[in-house]
Amino acid sequence: MPTVDGLLVVDKAAGWTSHDVVAKCRGIFGQKRVGHAGTLDPGATGVLLVGLGRVTRLLRYPGSRPKAYTGEVVLGVETSTLDDEGEVVATHEMAGVSLDDVRSVAAGFVGDIEQVPPMVSAVKVGGRRLHDLARKGVEVERQPRRATVYGLDVEDAGERGVFRIDVTCSAGTYVRVLAADIGRVLGGGAHLRRLRRTAVGEFGIDEAHPVEALGPDVVLAPTEAMRGHDRVTVGDDLAASVAHGGVLDRAELGVGGEGPWAVVDGTGALLAVYEPAHDGRAKPAVVLQTDR
């Protein structure tokens, strides 16, 4: 079976780790070079982008785009993992908290915020991943990280003390930390449940496929990995320079702005991704086609 270069938009089911999805894709497509952008916790569901072949080198671009989630904040109960997978570590009487109260507090988290990564995250401290330390019962100090919440809507979930949230946020935002922080500001505590990622950048849940439906017919072309980024089409002469990794004047390449820029040929095939260089030039960050 020939190596497949492309992008999959997967609707991850609960119980699967992101690595489980990657391993399954390796088996489906018969190739080792498979990766994913933006880890989803095992209990979470929704959009997971998986790169095949050379597209693994492009995953940082869609992975850096804003993300959208839905979930439920359960007031009054704190857990060791900040979601419903962990052990209960504290309870609070919060029956008097109204929808308006939650909305008022949630509004304070829209914009640039700081979050302390949870111990169950993949962040490394001292060369060790936090979730590995957490499994051994070790808790270490973590430095706050900046994140941006672009939108945060709250609705009643139809169950006492439970509120549905719809979040649009920057890459690297911890929605479980957001839920826990909302509970803390409300004077008690909370945890997150039923987290579902509904979009990664321009890739929405409506075009995602469950693992059992994955196959060659749902693989997107490499160019699709650069959705949301500027694209420029070059002729054959310039395409040869691009394929050989040439550093080019931005005017010659025909690009402006901050980049990155997807460089495609006349057929729409992705040749490379260029990023800004010094003195009005652009340099290749990833070259996909080198056979020109």
Catalytic residues: 41
Distance CA 94, CA 100 (A): 14
Contact (CB, 8 A) for 55 and 21: no
Contact (CB, 8 A) for 113 and 148: yes
C-alpha pair distances (Å), 89 with each of 178, 184, 259, 271: 18, 14, 46, 52
Q: Which of 29, 68, 281 is nearest to 173 (CA)?
A: 68
Q: For the chain, give the number of residues.
A: 292
Structure-block tokens of residue 190: 């909370």
Distance CA 18, CA 47 (A): 11
* CA 89 from centroid of its chain's CA atoms: 29
The per-residue b/e assignment along 115-154, b for 16 or more CB within 10 angstroms, e otherwise, is bebbbbbebeeeeeebeebbeeeeeeeeeebebebeebeb
DSSP-assigned letter for residue 221: P
